Amino acid sequence: MSFDDGEELRRRDPRVEHILRNRLHPQHESLISAPAETRGPSGLVRKNPHQIGFIGPNGLKRIDRLAGNGPVLGRDVRAAKVKTEALRPLVSIAQAEQFVVAVMDMVGGRLTAHDKDVLGQAQQLAAEIPEVCAVVAVVFGAVKEDAFELAGVDRLIHLRGEDYQGYCPEQSIAALQVIDQKLSPRFWLFPDSVHGAGELGLRLAARLQERPATQAWQVSSEKTTFRGGSQRTDICVDTPRLLLLAEESAAPIEDTRHEVVPMSELTEDLAAQVLPCIKDGGQVAVDPKQISLAEAEFILAAGNGITDWEQFHSASEILRATEGASRVAVDDGLMPRNTQVGATGTWVSARVYIAVGISGAVQHLQGIASCDKVIAINTDAGCDMVKRADLSVIGDSQEILAELIQLCELRQEQEMKQGVEHVA
């Protein structure tokens, strides 16, 4: 065999390859720690495709998207994320000539994954507009979110006060109409979801007598493709001004920080001047078992590490959590098939996901990728679920669930006592 002059002959080093494959080897971290992402001179993140992923036990390259695509894992990923967030270049818009307004769902006072997709789309549209364009987020009621700047919000309109608490579409639409008159947005974006903003989008379209695109999933300033015909047909139209976006229609913002300038001068004028006909009767308690897993906000999931199933069901009942399960628990006939979470089960997006005795196989982790906070209860401190979790409790599931049930009972008793005292 001959090689051209100058062609570099690549030599393999079996020892290095062995260390790269073995995540437990003491030299593993140092050998793979070359950065997978660096910030270029323009401030944008550049990815080194050769550094993404790791070599699996069979010698093939694997990309673990849950571990941030890089060689770092678990807690290191979160630390690296916080570090890169602080380094993102700040986008500041002093004088905006055009606006793209995005109305947010804000489930539980926080941006949902769907909200972040909508903001990502809003920034894409803003970039296509030739004039200086700012993305304005409109949020209603109590807000707990502290990361608007990382989600792509240039301007923020926060409508608070009693008028905007609970279900109040009439007041909200009146406010959106004032925003429409004052800003004349180039585009209005809403998440097409069941959490409220989608309904506002439809109501605003009716009020403004404009035809919106619903379930839009491919959007540019010129053309929009949306799902029609009971979700069976894709229809392409000239992009309308009002867009209700499907989930994952655009990638959320990852590379920049934004100023989040409050538009307080606008919100001062927005005191609702409507006499509402709809009265919000408050929230109604529902049986968590009746909520579909895909929509559940709080899930208690069981795996092969559960030894006392009666106790697991009592825990889910007292916590008022929807039950989920790993495939092993389902295959063993201990949980119904419709509770399986993961690649071949349901993809969930709960705000809190408690995984009891679940090891964190990649197929399971895929299904919980959109969950906000993950809590692992496991005897194995080194398992992948513990690495993925925001909070871990290391110990026997039976003992920990027993403690949890006891704490909940104690709290319920206290609340009942306080209620009786209040009535007396």
Ligand X SMILES: Cc1cc2nc3c(=O)[nH]c(=O)nc-3n(C[C@H](O)[C@H](O)[C@H](O)COP(=O)(O)OP(=O)(O)OC[C@H]3O[C@@H](n4cnc5c(N)ncnc54)[C@H](O)[C@@H]3O)c2cc1C
User: Which residues does 149 contact at the CB level (< 8 Å), separation at least 6?
Assistant: 257, 258, 259, 260
Min CB(376)–ligand X separation in Å: 9
Residues in the interface with ligand X (CB under 6 A) total 28
Nearer CB in complex with ligand X: 172/378? 378
Q: Does 326 bind ligand X (CB under 6 A)?
A: yes
Min CB(338)–ligand X separation in Å: 12
Nearest alpha-carbon partner for 258 in 156, 188, 176: 156
Nearer CB in complex with ligand X: 244/368? 368
347/299 Cα distance (integer angstroms): 12
Please, is 30 exposed, middle or buried when counting C-beta atoms within 10 Å of its C-beta (0-12, 13-18, 19+)? exposed
Q: Which of 70, 196, 303, 324 binds ligand X (CB under 6 A)?
A: 303
Min CB(346)–ligand X separation in Å: 8
Q: Does 299 bind ligand X (CB under 6 A)?
A: no
For the chain, what percentages of helix, strand and coil (3-state, to nearest 5) are there? Answer: 35, 20, 45
Query: Torsion angle, CA of 326/327/330/335, rounded to 10 degrees?
Result: 20
Nearer CB in complex with ligand X: 139/358? 358
Give the tokens for residue 74.
């678990």
Nearer CB in complex with ligand X: 252/357? 357
Min CB(193)–ligand X separation in Å: 24
Where b means 16+ CB within 10 Å and e means fewer, 225-264 reads bbbeeeeeeeeeeebbbbbbbbbebbebbeebbbbbbebe
Choices 163-171, 201-209, 270-278, 320-328; region in contact with ligand X by CB under 6 A: 320-328
Min CB(333)–ligand X separation in Å: 14
Min CB(336)–ligand X separation in Å: 14
Nearer CB in complex with ligand X: 191/357? 357
Is the CB of residue 149 less than 8 Å from the CB of residue 228? no
DSSP code, position 343:
T
Nearer CB in complex with ligand X: 256/311? 311
Nearer CB in complex with ligand X: 307/418? 307
Contact positions with ligand X (CB under 6 A) in 334-393: 340-345, 357-359, 361, 363-364, 367, 377-380, 383
What is the three-class DSSP state of 206? helix
Query: Torsion angle, CA of 44/87/219/67, rounded to 10 degrees?
Result: 100
* Contacting residues toward ligand X, per CB under 6 A: 303-305, 307, 326-329, 340-345, 357-359, 361, 363-364, 367, 377-380, 383, 396-397
